[in-house]
Amino acid sequence: MAVGGALRVLTALGLLGSAWVHLVVWRDWARDEDVVGPLFLVNVAAGPVLALAVLAWRGHWLPELAAVAYGAATLGAYALSLTVGFFGVEEQFRTDEEVWGVITEAVCVLGGAALLGPRLRERGRRA
């Protein structure tokens, strides 16, 4: 498997891992939160859809950008929950789920960005 293919699989695994973490946490406590609960379900649903898109839709940059946006938005919301709170939720970075969430979302950002990099360089050469 070429490096690009392995990177696609890794990015897809990051998306699926993040979705799984959000499902576990939603079942544990987030389902009782008015805003955060539904947002966790958005992550649960979007992760597999984006993972499939990253794996199957190789001819376009949109799934790669979506993986970056998914990871960055989720990490941003988590950072808010650690600092000032996010819709009433304040985290402490104490659980395995929090650790795995940060890891999988970082994989989404880094993997998606690495997939986008060659496209952007190529586009810059053509301009």
**Per-residue model confidence as pLDDT tens digits over 15-37:** 999 999 999 999 999 999 999 99
Q: What are phi and psi of 86, to 5 degrees?
A: -130, 105
Mapping DSSP onto H, E and C, the string for the chain reads CCHHHHHHHHHHHHHHHHHHHHHHHHHHCHHHCCCHHHHHHHHHHHHHHHHHHHHHCCCCCHHHHHHHHHHHHHHHHHHHHHHCCECCECCCCCCHHHHHHHHHHHHHHHHHHHHHHHHHHHHHHHC
Q: pLDDT band at residue 88, thresholds of 50, 70 and 90?
A: confident
**Around Cβ 53, how many Cβ atoms within 10 Å?**
18
Tens of pLDDT, residues 42-84: 999 999 999 999 999 988 899 999 999 999 999 999 999 999 9
Residue type, 33: E
CB 104 within 8 A of CB 22: no
The answer to pTM > 0.85 is yes
